[in-house]
Amino acid sequence: MIGIDEFLAMLATERGAARNTLLAYGRDLRQAEEMAGSELAALSAAQLAKLGQGWSSLAPSTMARKISALRQFYGFLIDEGEREDDPTHALPRPATRRPLPKILSHDQVEALFQCAETEAASERAEAVRLLTMLELLYGSGLRATELVSLPLSAVPRDEPFLTVTGKGGQARLVPISSRAKKVLSRWLAVRQTDSRWLFPSRSGHLTRIRLFQLLKDLAARADLPPEKLSPHVLRHAFATHLLEGGADLRALQTLLGHADIATTQIYTHVDAARLVKLVNERHPLARARASD
């Protein structure tokens, strides 16, 4: 019978699932199989119901992830003709609310850049590298993994774009600003290595963990709470501040590399006040009331 390994292989080849997604799904499915005490593909609705009951103490988001993995797994079995029934109707349906992203104010972003630019004025390699990474995280909205794994070949020569490989191995062109290009040039001038990576380390490229550490240290030096800063927070700030400036949601979806615009729509909450003001000031009925 087709099992978990075949399902994960399908996700990788047909849907282009990212490595972290495959690891998470594999872990959830194998844990479910271990809890049930028999082969996952052969479980009944009653057995799945017991699994759901066993997850009752988990956070709603964690339970939702596990249930999503199971629903997709059994859907795959049905598509492959391995099962005729779908036992996942017995699973609970936890209500989840996607958390709103943490954001930085314009003043906080300015404080970060002032600190990073002051330190980079010495042209020390480490300081110029940090400023370059900050420019690309906030100025282009890159994910942490996308940033640290940038090959040197991704750096443009004449065009104002980076070639970025995102989730699922999907490549996209990301525009970079004139100031980011200048900082990139400074970094390339002090980068003394023949590594194929833009941000190399001794064994390959800079790790995500090290990037987190560098940013939190920068936040402390800029008199900001270190817990407020991460690569993802800078990506959120990029999206939020673009929307505040009038960016189109579809354009933002492309810039962020979101496969589904529903993912991008989470950023619209930050512009709620501006939209309410827009309706109150510009809607014909609002103007009619004002003239009464």
- Given the residues 129, 143, 236, 241, select the one marked as catalytic: 143
Q: Is 181 part of the annotated catalytic residue set?
A: no
Q: Is 182 part of the annotated catalytic residue set?
A: no
- Given the residues 129, 235, 236, 241, select the one marked as catalytic: 235
- Given the residues 65, 186, 216, 258, select the one marked as catalytic: 258
Q: Is 30 part of the annotated catalytic residue set?
A: no
- Given the residues 65, 102, 167, 216, select the one marked as catalytic: 167
Q: Is 235 part of the annotated catalytic residue set?
A: yes
- In SS3 terms, the chain reads as CCCHHHHHHHHHHHCCCCHHHHHHHHHHHHHHHHHHCCCHHHCCHHHHHHHHHHCCCCCHHHHHHHHHHHHHHHHHHHHCCCCCCCHHHHCCCCCCCCCCCCCCCHHHHHHHHHHHHHHHCCCCHHHHHHHHHHHHHHHHCCCHHHHHCCEHHHCCCCCCEEEEECHHHCEEEEECCHHHHHHHHHHHHHCCCCCCECCECCCCECCHHHHHHHHHHHHHHCCCCHHHCCHHHHHHHHHHHHHHCCCCHHHHHHHHCCCCHHHHHHHHHHHHHHHHHHHHHHCHHHHHHHHC
Residue 212 one-letter amino acid = F
Q: Is 138 part of the annotated catalytic residue set?
A: no
Q: Is 267 part of the annotated catalytic residue set?
A: yes
Please report, in angstroms and rounded to a whole number, the separation of the first and last CA atoms in the chain.
74
d(CA 219, CA 215): 6
- Given the residues 71, 102, 208, 232, select the one marked as catalytic: 232
Catalytic residues: 143, 167, 232, 235, 258, 267
